Amino acid sequence: MFEGDLDFMSQLSSSLLTEGRPFPQFSLPNQDKKTVQLADLAGKWFVLYVYPKDDTPGCTLEGRGFSKAKPEFDKVDVSVFGLSQDDVASHKDFCDKFSFTIPLLADTRAELLKALGVGQDEYKGKMYWNRVTFIVDPKGVIRKVYPAVKPEGHEAEVLADLKRLMHG
């Protein structure tokens, strides 16, 4: 890695939206072709987790974790959404294959991904969006960002932080 590469890498990571910033407006379909938009979530806490690709090992692990924890998120009245650039049909197949209970939003034009400042990494010659999670408060303000997510057990970390943020 060259010195210039480090500058470039820091510029990439600095574009990610941070705590205290408003969550970008969006209107995207989920796996059932139902449109979800920021306005629908006004007055409620929500979690949005960005993942690289449907039906891949880490993404499956993360989706299963959030689906298994959905009753815990429901108890505190928090909606959870997954987001990737995959299309509605791919999301539908992914949800059906693994019985996911978390809606997956299809950002096929990467508009929300770019607005959030999510970076990309190359894997086997193809670019994939990084795994990032956002906790957003009822006013639409980002309260917590996880910039480098490890999928296993991530839902428990998010739930614990969410409860602390909601009551702190």
Q: The CATH number of 3-167 is which of 3.40.30.10, 3.20.20.70, 3.40.50.1100, 3.40.50.2300?
A: 3.40.30.10
For the chain, what is the largest distance between any 2 Cα atoms, rounded to a whole number of angstroms?
49
Look at the pTM and tell me if it is higher than 0.85.
yes
What pLDDT score does 133 carry? 97
Q: Which amino acid is at 89?
A: A
What pLDDT score does 148 carry? 87
59: annotated active-site residue: yes
What pLDDT score does 128 carry? 86
What does the alpha-carbon distance between residue 58 and residue 46 come to, in Å, rounded to a whole number? 22
Tokens at 147, concatenated: 């910039």
Q: What is the DSSP code string of 80-115?
A: EEEEESS-HHHHHHHHHHHT--S-EEE-TT-HHHHH
Active-site entry in 36, 41, 50, 59: 59
- pLDDT < 70: residue spans in the chain: 1-14
What pLDDT score does 5 carry? 37
Tokens at 56, concatenated: 């891949």
What does the alpha-carbon distance between residue 109 and residue 133 come to, in Å, rounded to a whole number? 19
What pLDDT score does 121 carry? 86
